[in-house]
Structure 1
């Protein structure tokens, strides 16, 4: 796994999921997202629970397909399960294909736009820190599309960075997160550089805004599976 050192030099552009990011993305996730392995373990568990009778799993913004590979290892290939990953980054899909080919995986990968993809009826949709990169004016429409393409009783499991409705608490949550990143080996300079690169690219909602968004789009319920400071994993049931 290549170490993330992207922000040790001055930034020249806004953050994007290009070849440079794809090359270090697995390390970036582990060192930038608190308790990433634990939240992904919960995502995997509840996704597999929903696949008791088979079905399609879509991973929106699948990056290097690590989560789909973990799910595949736990469901027999002979079972009636299809695992589909979609990402609009050619570099991410290239890395994902190399990994899936190395494991002899049957995961289906598509370079495409999750806003316009032609979905089939599915049992599970997963979105790991992806909605926050979708512009708010079309984010609600994507969640509506997800709801429309889930079977009754199907689940939408998504993780997001969240903001607090209280300005003082929000600052404290950000400070807490920056301290976490320092413990992971990121310098103050790297933290500031990445924050500036993500300005106006990553647009998070509050906890309530995320939960209300899914409830407004055909989901019976939405619960928080995991939260650490300003990072949360939700499960919504169709």
Structure 2
């Protein structure tokens, strides 16, 4: 499928509204995410490898906040356990519609069920592997512990969760340094200072980052036996938690 270039914030916006995963964002999302999130393609590839390791027969895999289904497709390419069903879940109808278009182009024996739902309210059952790939940061902070707990409770023993998030650092100087490096990354990928500034203003009220320790503590409190940060690029990181 053809991919459009992200120029949503290339011109001045008189009144910046909060960032939303609407039709406009969905149409440019592959370009946006590639140019905005360092290490994204590496994380997606590793999600497939991890899914292959942890998926068990006749279980469910959840891509929670699936957007256009990149993690779903990565898992679908690698999972070989019989009877596995992937649930690709998002609360954006625009994202799910486009994800279905992408998934329909693939020939795979692994079935995918797309679900339009709020993941903080979605039941999790018979789960061997779950992914929250830059999703939890968009959920209200007061709902995050319950969301993680629900995933843990619906997971089979030995199952695993991959949680990827934008981080804030406890050290304010380090935090600013990594923010600056991230902006340099975006400039290197063709974004102007105007685009960087406007995007940051639009998203800062809806994307609420936390420290790495806050995520580790939450996962541990939910009951996960093993919790480890396995990836970081600037202020973007990914964790694995094993039940």
- Give the TM-score taking structure 1 as reference length: 0.95
Q: 1:8 aligns with which of 10, 23, 28?
A: 10
Point out where structure 2 has 5 or more consecutive residues left out of the alignment. Answer: none
Q: 1:210 aligns with which of 212, 215, 219?
A: 215
Q: 2: CA distance between counterparts of 1:120 and 1:52? A: 13
Q: Paired residue for 1:59?
A: 63
SS of aligned partner of 2:9: helix
Q: Paired residue for 1:88?
A: 91
Deviations for 1:81-104, whole angstroms, at most 9, x for unmatched residues?
111100000000000111112224
SS of aligned partner of 1:205: coil
Q: Paired residue for 2:236?
A: 231
Indicate conservation of the 8 Å contact 1:58/1:126, yes or no.
Answer: yes
- Does residue 201 in structure 1 map to residue 206 in structure 2? yes
The alignment yields a C-alpha RMSD, in angstroms, of: 1.4
- Give the TM-score taking structure 2 as reference length: 0.94
Q: 1: CA distance between counterparts of 2:61 and 2:173? A: 39
Q: How many residues were matched structurally?
A: 237
Q: 2: CA distance between counterparts of 1:227 and 1:162? A: 10
Q: 1: CA distance between counterparts of 2:117 and 2:100? A: 14
Q: 2: CA distance between counterparts of 1:216 and 1:109? A: 30
TM-superposed deviation, 1:55: 2.2
TM-superposed deviation, 1:54: 5.2
Q: Paired residue for 1:160?
A: 165
Q: 1:37 to 1:140 in 2, by over 3 A?
A: same
Deviations for 1:117-161, whole angstroms, at most 9, x for unmatched residues?
122220011011000001111111101111111111110101100
Q: Paired residue for 1:183?
A: 188
Indicate conservation of the 8 Å contact 2:62/2:86, yes or no.
Answer: yes
SS of aligned partner of 1:6: coil
Q: 1: CA distance between counterparts of 2:220 and 2:58? A: 25
